[in-house]
Amino acid sequence: MMKKVLIGLVVAVLLLSFSLPSFAEEPIKIGLITPLTGAVSTFGQSVRNSAVLAVDTINERGGIHGRMIDLIVLDDQGDATEAANATRRLIDRDEVVLIIGPVITPCVLAAAPIAQDAGIPLITPTGTGDTITEIGDMIFRAAYKDSFQGQMMARFAREVLELEQAAIIYDVANDYSTGLMNSFRDTFIELGGEIVRVESYTTNDSDFSAQLTSIAMRQPDALFVPDYYTAAGPIAMQSRQLGIDATLLGVDGWDSPAIHELAGGYEVGAYIVNHYSPDDETPSTQEFISVFSARYPDAPDALAALAYDAVQIVEAALNATGGSTDPQELKTALGTVSNIQAATGTINMDPEGTPVKAVVILQMTADGSILVDKVEP
């Protein structure tokens, strides 16, 4: 009799296990590639902190249809080769269902083709290069395109600041910097402005005196510097030391607390186009700031806001699939989720893989930046 009871219990347990979804308790493995070390480590640390916070928040609410998110974080050092290696490891060894990252455009361009070929969705929180989403239908972003932010800065320069003549200095070896240069230049000219000089340098250069001396001779009203803070800071300092008093114009890559030291304070007064401002009173933005500040001592920057947005986009997509991690279902969801109340405002994804949302114009101050303008899509 006891034997029959035991057999019956075993059968009941087996039947129960088969009646439940096989993935009920399995975590959803998601990779995060971000530069925790290297030249743009402040970017990577902001992204890591915010992504971890967003995932923890989801898990504390019970996860996605009862499944927790397991976030696997790898450091690409801001290096394209390391980004490619990290992508292969996350796909082949860790068997993630989706990748968030990398952070800077050159690293995204190295990682995205690998994810596309493997059929694994990838969403960069901050990569703005126009060609990123052209790599394939598995590639998405939480940021706007470089062409868009270049256009917005040119419009602000011409229509709000009423600047007539601009010079540009950019990194010829960086797709991010080159794309922004082209977009700003073309739009500035279309709006009746004149580009009086375009100078270039190469990644990791530190002496810009020759290029800036050439620019100083043209006496422009504006100097556009489309690059990361590591180059923008020294360029701002050296331009002022050479007597250039043009209005400095920058981009989202300037957004780092390190720029104040690198620029020696000469960045004060400059205008940059960005994804987010803590001065924005949008409820979802203020909620993000409150949640972030409750865990971390430093105020969140735009990189942190975009990382939080990327996780929210992924959460919305996973909920839209009913918790399924099927790559094709995820791909479709990532390109169609809408009305996400995110850290940078309301996000509506388009099938191309880019969010439709507002941009902000900030003015740099000794204490950070202040909101000057917000342009809705």
119-169 pLDDT, tens digit per residue, is 999 999 999 989 999 999 999 999 999 999 999 999 999 999 999 999 999
Tell me, yes or no, whether 169 lies in a domain.
yes
Three-state DSSP state, 174: coil
CATH number at residue 68: 3.40.50.2300
The model's pLDDT over 220-263, given as tens digits with 9 standing for 90+, comes to 999 999 999 999 999 999 999 999 999 999 999 998 889 999 99
Helix (H) or strand (E) holding 140: strand 139-141
DSSP type of residue 243? T
Give yes or no: residues 117 and 160 share one domain.
no
Cα torsion 74, 77, 78, 80: sign: negative
Three-state DSSP state, 41: helix
How do 345-349 and 340-342 pair as beta strands? Answer: antiparallel
Give yes or no: residues 153 and 213 share one domain.
yes
Give yes or no: residues 72 and 106 share one domain.
yes
Helix axes 41-60, 302-320, angle to 10 degrees: 40
Rounded Cα–Cα distance for residues 256 and 250 (Å): 12
pLDDT of residue 133: 95
Give yes or no: residues 134 and 40 share one domain.
yes
Q: State the Cα angle at 306 between 187 and 375, rounded to 5°.
A: 40
Rounded Cα–Cα distance for residues 115 and 110 (Å): 10
Contact 172, 178 (CB under 8 A): yes
pLDDT of residue 19: 41
Q: How many domains would you assign to the chain? A: 2
Q: Tokens for 70?
A: 């397991």
Give yes or no: residues 172 and 253 share one domain.
yes
pLDDT of residue 244: 97
pLDDT of residue 376: 77
**The length of the chain, given as a count of residues:** 377
Please say which residue of 223, 250, 274 terminates a domain. 274
Give yes or no: residues 285 and 269 share one domain.
no
Give yes or no: residues 120 and 154 share one domain.
no
Closest CA relative to residue 99, chosen from 83, 77, 78, 79: 83
Give yes or no: residues 123 and 188 share one domain.
no
Identify the bridge partners of residue 187 per DSSP, sorted by sequence position.
none
Tell me, yes or no, whether 76 lies in a domain.
yes
pLDDT of residue 190: 98
Rounded Cα–Cα distance for residues 239 and 281 (Å): 35
pLDDT of residue 14: 44
Tell me, yes or no, whether 372 lies in a domain.
no
Rounded Cα–Cα distance for residues 322 and 337 (Å): 13
pLDDT of residue 368: 85
pLDDT of residue 25: 72
Kindly give the residue spans of alpha helices, DSSP state H, lying in the chain: 2-19, 41-60, 80-92, 105-118, 146-155, 175-190, 209-216, 229-241, 259-263, 283-295, 302-320, 327-334
* Domain boundaries, position 161: 147-274
Contacts for 125 with CB less than 8 Å, ≥ 6 apart: 47, 51, 100, 101, 103, 141, 142, 143, 303, 306, 307, 309, 310
DSSP type of residue 64? B
Give yes or no: residues 43 and 113 share one domain.
yes
Please say which residue of 257, 274, 291 terminates a domain. 274
* Residues in the chain, pLDDT under 50: 1-23
